[in-house]
Structure formats: C-alpha cells, structure tokens
C-alpha cells in the first residue's frame, strides 16, 4: 500500500474508527474481525494494519470514543456545576440523555458489557481506569455534599459512588428499548429514591 500523507491519512484513520465503532458497539470485541471491518470500510486489510497494528489497538480507539461521549453526556455537565445536589441530579438526567440517544444506546452493550476476553490487558486497564476515575469523582461529590450538610449518609462514600455507576449500567441494559416518556418517569423516580437514600436535605 502506498504511504498516505497529510489529511488523506487522517481522514482514512477517522473513517476506519467510525466504521469499527459501530461494529464493535453492536457485536463486542470478539464478534468482529479485521476482515469485516476492512470490508465495511471498503479498504484492504493492509490499509487497516497501516493505521492500527492489531484489532486490540483499533478497539481501544473506539472505546475511547465511547468514553468521550459518556463524559460529554454525563460527567462534563456535572463538572460545570459546583453544588453537589445539582451535580448528582445531573448524573441522572445525563443517564436519561444517554438512554434517549440511539447512537449511545445501540452501541453501549459492545463497550460496557462486551469488552472482550480477559487477556486484553490494555483494554481492561482502560476500562478499570475509567470506572475508577468516575467512582472517585462521584465519591468526592458525595463527600462534599455531606461536608456542607446537604447529604446525611453513614460510612464511606465510595460504595455509594460505585452504586451510581452500577445503576447507570443497569439502566442502559434494561431500559434501552423503552419509550422516552417511560425513561423520563423512571429516571425521575430513581433520582427521588436515591436522594432520599443519601439523606438529601431540602433547603428551606
């Protein structure tokens, strides 16, 4: 294959990622072959290997894409707010936004649940790092809320933060085919239950 330069190489790489992103999202890591990605991309396998040394590297790039979209929907809006109670409410509304975005919901299983075999060390490391960073951030929001008297819960905040991530994954798995109005009602109810569980103190 002739060496690609400049914008052409960048565009080709982007095209490969976009094609592979949808395939991995629908089928998970093990359900997709390099041959299938090449055929869908209308490129040779050699072209794919020019840009990515193996399937793991390409999946890793797609996983980063999914993480970026997840951050954009849920965590970036939370970071832009300083009040802990509002930050947590944004977690639930962000999860709702994920559930009502077809591109996110259709591909979620391949990135949240279909991560591939356990020997994919780089992918597993990235996944665990993503979970760890999210849990620490959510834990800090919970602790801050308790310190300023908005939340009143006992014990460590980290298990509660983990429960939020588990709740988000569970909602995506169970509710991704539900009508938008049902998703809205359910997320409002879940926020109400969670707020009561952490002892959210309403301002007088």
Q: What is the CATH number of the domain that holds 128?
A: 1.10.357.10
Q: What is the mean pLDDT of residues 44-72?
A: 91
What confidence score (pLDDT) does residue 118 get? 45
pLDDT tens digits, residue range 166-181? 898 888 878 777 888 9
What confidence score (pLDDT) does residue 29 get? 87
Residue 108's Cβ-count burial label (10 Å; 0-12, 13-18, 19+) is buried
Whether 69 is in a domain gets the answer yes
Whether 132 is in a domain gets the answer yes
What confidence score (pLDDT) does residue 191 get? 95
Domain that includes residue 93, residue range: 54-197
Between the alpha carbon of residue 102 and those of residues 60, 98, 176, 180, the distances in Å are 22, 8, 9, 11
Confidence of residue 136 (pLDDT cuts 50, 70, 90): very high
Residue-wise burial string across 161-188, b where 16 or more C-beta atoms lie within 10 A, e elsewhere? beebbeebeebbeebbebeeeebeebbe
CA distance 48 to 119: 22
Whether 3 is in a domain gets the answer no
What confidence score (pLDDT) does residue 11 get? 92
Whether 163 is in a domain gets the answer yes
Whether 124 is in a domain gets the answer yes
- Structural domains counted in the chain: 1
- Give the chain's mean pLDDT: 87
């Amino acid at each position: 294959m002739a060496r690609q330069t400049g914008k052409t190489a960048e565009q080709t790489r982007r095209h490969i990622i976009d094609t592979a992103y949808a395939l991995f999202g629908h089928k998970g890591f093990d359900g997709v072959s390099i041959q299938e990605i090449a055929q869908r991309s209308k490129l040779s396998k050699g072209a794919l290997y020019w840009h990515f040394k193996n399937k793991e590297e390409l999946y890793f790039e797609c996983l980063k894409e999914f993480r970026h979209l997840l951050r954009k929907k849920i965590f970036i809006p939370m970071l832009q707010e300083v009040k802990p109670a509002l930050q947590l409410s944004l977690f639930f509304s962000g999860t709702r936004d994920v559930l009502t975005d077809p591109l996110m919901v259709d591909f979620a299983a391949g990135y949240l649940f279909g991560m591939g075999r356990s020997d994919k060390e780089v992918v597993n490391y990235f996944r665990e790092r993503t979970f760890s960073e999210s849990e620490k951030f959510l834990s800090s929001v919970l602790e801050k809320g308790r310190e300023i008297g908005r939340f009143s819960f006992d014990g460590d905040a980290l298990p509660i933060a983990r429960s939020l991530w588990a709740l988000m994954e569970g909602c995506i798995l169970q509710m991704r085919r539900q009508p938008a109005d049902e998703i809205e009602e359910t997320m409002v109810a879940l926020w109400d239950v969670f707020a009561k569980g952490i002892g959210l103190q309403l301002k007088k």
